[in-house]
């Protein structure tokens, strides 16, 4: 078993902010690299303290398992941090946003889509696709992947997805131009729009 690192005396990096619901987070420098330290959230007023108090340990274990299996996940370490007379177990996540890159939380990005019906909390597939596509040049566009996800969204009943699949088939962009499939998806789109108008 490896020794846990005490991050208490590490240099804290001001001006770095991390969002997310689970616990407080700060930025520190350790061994020449920047890490986000995730503190366990309070277990007070929670139905069970176990899942909340151990969330840092769980995150480290899960990330380690994914990395061992060859599924790229964040690089983490377990450690401690002293606050007053308490020693907290923390999960240190390597901050991969160096070099001028910025990682925005989904909620903040989603709230930039002004003509969306859902708030930043909307995580339906068509909401996610629409949000990504409305980011312009700041997000690399991949038309093949876009077609796949629009098709998945359309199959699940998304009006936005149906309209997008119709657009792909009618324009011949990414997939072969197909009037029959374009017509099929346009009819589904129109019918879904009419049904939506009744509610």
Q: What is the pLDDT of residues 120-155, one digit of tens each?
A: 566 666 677 777 777 766 666 778 888 888 888 888
- Give the pair of three-digit tokens for residue 135: 């980011």
Among candidate residues 54, 71, 94, the one where a domain is terminated: 94
Q: What is the pLDDT of residue 53?
A: 55
Q: Would you say residue 100 lies in a domain?
A: no
Same domain, 30 and 74: yes
Q: What is the pLDDT of residue 122?
A: 60
Q: Would you say residue 22 lies in a domain?
A: yes
Same domain, 139 and 182: yes
Q: What is the pLDDT of residue 97?
A: 76
Q: What is the mean pLDDT of the chain?
A: 81
- Three-state SS at 40: coil
Q: Would you say residue 124 lies in a domain?
A: yes
Tally of structural domains, the chain: 2
Same domain, 63 and 116: no
Matching residue, tokens 């708030």: 119
Same domain, 12 and 51: yes
| Nearest by Cα to 139 from 95, 99, 97, 103 | 103
| Residue-number span of the structural domain to which 124 is assigned | 106-198
Same domain, 117 and 191: yes
Section 99-120 average pLDDT: 67
Same domain, 18 and 40: yes
Q: What is the pLDDT of residue 197?
A: 76
Q: What is the pLDDT of residue 138?
A: 63
CATH assignment of the domain containing 59 = 3.30.200.120
Q: What is the pLDDT of residues 52-90, one digit of tens each?
A: 456 788 888 999 999 899 988 889 999 999 999 989 889
**Torsion angle of alpha carbons 161, 166, 171, 174, nearest 10°?**
50
| Nearest by Cα to 12 from 50, 45, 39 | 39
Q: Would you say residue 101 lies in a domain?
A: no
Same domain, 165 and 127: yes
């Amino acid at each position: 078993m490896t020794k846990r690192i005490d991050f208490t005396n590490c240099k804290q990096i001001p001006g770095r902010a991390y969002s997310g619901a689970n616990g407080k987070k700060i930025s520190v420098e350790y061994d020449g690299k920047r890490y986000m330290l995730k503190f366990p959230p309070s277990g007070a007023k929670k139905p069970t303290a176990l899942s909340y108090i151990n969330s840092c340990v769980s995150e480290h274990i899960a990330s380690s398992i994914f990395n061992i299996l060859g599924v790229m996940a964040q690089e983490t370490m377990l450690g401690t941090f002293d606050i007053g007379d308490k020693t907290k177990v923390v999960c240190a996540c390597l901050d991969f946003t160096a070099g001028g890159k910025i990682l925005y939380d989904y909620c903040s990005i989603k709230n930039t889509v002004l003509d969306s019906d859902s708030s930043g909390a909307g995580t339906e597939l068509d909401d996610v696709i629409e949000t990504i596509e409305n980011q312009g040049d700041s997000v690399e566009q991949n038309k093949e992947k876009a077609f796949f996800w629009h098709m998945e969204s359309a199959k699940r009943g998304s009006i936005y997805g149906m309209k997008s699949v119709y657009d792909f088939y009618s324009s011949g962009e990414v997939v072969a131009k197909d009037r029959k499939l374009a017509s099929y998806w346009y009819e589904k789109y129109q019918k879904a729009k009419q049904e939506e108008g009744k509610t």
